[in-house]
C-alpha cells in the first residue's frame, strides 16, 4: 500500500483497545530502559504573542516483535476556547515505517494522548498497587479522568470510585458515564486520597493532596503535572513514598517532583527508580513492606509511538480511516 492512512478521533478510539494498549505501553517502557529506544528531549516553540506554544515529541522503539517510529506535534493555547472555539490542546501524530520512512498514518494525537496516559497509569498500578485494590479515587474530573478509570479497571478489580472536583457539573457528567459499572460517588480530596488507588489529573501549582489524607498503602498516579511549577501532592507524600518515575530528565523538569526537586527538598536519593526497570524486573514493584507508592508520569514520546502502532495495526481489520496519496506515489 503506497497511501497514507488518516485516522481521526473516532478511528483511534475504535482501534486502540485498552488491554492491548496497556501491553504495548509496558513494552515501550521496557524498550526505553533496555536501550532499545531513541527519544530525544521534547522541544518547545514558545509563542507569547499568541499565549501558546508548540511541542514536538519524536521517538523510535524496538519491542522485539515489532518496532515503530513517529513524532507528535502538540500545542497548548489557553485562549483557544474563548477566542476561537477550539480546544486548548490539540495533537497530530505522524506514524512512519522505520525501515523506509514512509508515512504510514496521520492520527489524531489528542485521543491518542488520553488513551496512552491512562494505559501508562495502568502499567504503574499493576506493578505498584496492592493486589486486592478495589477502591479508586480520582481528583480532577476532566477528560483524562475517564481513561484513568477505564485503564486502571483493566488491571485491578475496581468496585468503588470516589471522584473529586470543584466543578459539580463535571463530577455529575463523570458519574453519569460510569454509574452502571461502578459504585461511584462524589467526594472530597481526602476521601479520594484514602482509596487503594488514587489518580490526580489537575493543573494545580500548589499541592492539594495532604499527607495525612493518603491511605497507608495507597498507590498514587500523579498525572497532572506537565510543566514547571505544577505540583499536586504535598512534599511529605513524595518523601514518604516508594517514588517511581517515567523519565528522570522530564520528571525533574516538568513532572510532579519538579518543584521539590529544584528546591532541594527532594533529591535523587528519594527516587526509587524508573517504571521501565520495574517492568524489566531490575527493581521490585510492590512488596509487603511498602506503604504509599507514587508514579510520577510526564508522558513519553515512546508511549505515543506505541499507541499509534496499535491504532494503525487494527485500522484495516476495522475498515476505518481514509487512505490518501500524500506523496504522489500510488500507482
Q: Tell me the three cell numbers of residue 211.
A: 499527607
Consult the annotation and say whether 143 binds a ligand. Answer: yes
Consult the annotation and say whether 224 binds a ligand. Answer: yes
Active-site residue identified among 42, 72, 83, 242: 72
What pLDDT, on a 0 to 100 scale, did the predictor assign at position 326? 95
Confidence of residue 168 (pLDDT cuts 50, 70, 90): very high
**Averaged pLDDT score across all residues of the chain:** 96
Residue 129 CB burial class (10 angstroms; 0-12, 13-18, ≥19): buried
Higher pLDDT residue, 238 or 44?
A: 238
Consult the annotation and say whether 230 binds a ligand. Answer: yes
Q: Tell me the three cell numbers of residue 164.
A: 473529586
What pLDDT, on a 0 to 100 scale, did the predictor assign at position 187? 98
What pLDDT, on a 0 to 100 scale, did the predictor assign at position 140? 97
Q: At residue 320, does pLDDT exceed 80?
A: yes
Q: At residue 203, does pLDDT exceed 80?
A: yes
pLDDT tens per residue across span 10-40: 999 999 999 999 999 999 999 999 999 999 9
Instruction: Establish whether 83 is a catalytic residue.
Output: no
Mean pLDDT, to the nearest integer, of 277-285?
Answer: 98
Alpha carbon distance 201, 152 (integer Å): 14
Consult the annotation and say whether 297 binds a ligand. Answer: yes
Domains of the chain, first to last: 4-113+301-324 (3.30.1780.10), 121-296 (3.40.50.720)
Alpha carbon distance 214, 78 (integer Å): 32
Consult the annotation and say whether 144 binds a ligand. Answer: yes
Residue 9 CB burial class (10 angstroms; 0-12, 13-18, ≥19): middle
Alpha carbon distance 290, 145 (integer Å): 26
Confidence of residue 330 (pLDDT cuts 50, 70, 90): confident
pLDDT tens per residue across span 215-245: 999 999 999 988 889 999 999 999 999 999 9
Confidence of residue 55 (pLDDT cuts 50, 70, 90): very high
Alpha carbon distance 115, 104 (integer Å): 20
Consult the annotation and say whether 222 binds a ligand. Answer: no
Consult the annotation and say whether 153 binds a ligand. Answer: no
What pLDDT, on a 0 to 100 scale, did the predictor assign at position 2? 87
Query: Which among 92, 94, 55 has a CA at the least distance from the CA of 75?
Result: 55
Amino acid at each position: 500500500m503506497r497511501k497514507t492512512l488518516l485516522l481521526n478521533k473516532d478511528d483511534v478510539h475504535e482501534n486502540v483497545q485498552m488491554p492491548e494498549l496497556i501491553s504495548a505501553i509496558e513494552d515501550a517502557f521496557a524498550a526505553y530502559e533496555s536501550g532499545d529506544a531513541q527519544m530525544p528531549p521534547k522541544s518547545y516553540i514558545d509563542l507569547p504573542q499568541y499565549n501558546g506554544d508548540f511541542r514536538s515529541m519524536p521517538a523510535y522503539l524496538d519491542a522485539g516483535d515489532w518496532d515503530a517510529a513517529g513524532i507528535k506535534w502538540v500545542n497548548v493555547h489557553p485562549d483557544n476556547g474563548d477566542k476561537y472555539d477550539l480546544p486548548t490542546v490539540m495533537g497530530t501524530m505522524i506514524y512512519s515505517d522505520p525501515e523506509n520512512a514512509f508515512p504510514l498514518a496521520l492520527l489524531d494525537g489528542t485521543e491518542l494522548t488520553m488513551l496512552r496516559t491512562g494505559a501508562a497509569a495502568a502499567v504503574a498500578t499493576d506493578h505498584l498497587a496492592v493486589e486486592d485494590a478495589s477502591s479508586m479515587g480520582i481528583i480532577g474530573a476532566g477528560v483524562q479522568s475517564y481513561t484513568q478509570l477505564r485503564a486502571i479497571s483493566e488491571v485491578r478489580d475496581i468496585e468503588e470510585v470516589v471522584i473529586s472536583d470543584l466543578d459539580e457539573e463535571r463530577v455529575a457528567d463523570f458519574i453519569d458515564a460510569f454509574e452502571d459499572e461502578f459504585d461511584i460517588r462524589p467526594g472530597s480530596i481526602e476521601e479520594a486520597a484514602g482509596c487503594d488507588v488514587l489518580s490526580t489529573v489537575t493543573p494545580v501549582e500548589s499541592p492539594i493532596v495532604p499527607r495525612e489524607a493518603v491511605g497507608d498503602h495507597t498507590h498514587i498516579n500523579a498525572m497532572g503535572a506537565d510543566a514547571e511549577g505544577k505540583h499536586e501532592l504535598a512534599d511529605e507524600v513524595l518523601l514518604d513514598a516508594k517514588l517511581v518515575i517515567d523519565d528522570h530528565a522530564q520528571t525533574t523538569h516538568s513532572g510532579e517532583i519538579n518543584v521539590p526537586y529544584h528546591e532541594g527538598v527532594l533529591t535523587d536519593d528519594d527516587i526509587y527508580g524508573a517504571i521501565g526497570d520495574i517492568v524489566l524486573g531490575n527493581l521490585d514493584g510492590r512488596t509487603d513492606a511498602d506503604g504509599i507508592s507514587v508514579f510520577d508520569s510526564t508522558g513519553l514520546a515512546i508511549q505515543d509511538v506505541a499507541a499509534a502502532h496499535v491504532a494503525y495495526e487494527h485500522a484495516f481489520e476495522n475498515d476505518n480511516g481514509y487512505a490518501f496519496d500524500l506523496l504522489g506515489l500510488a500507482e
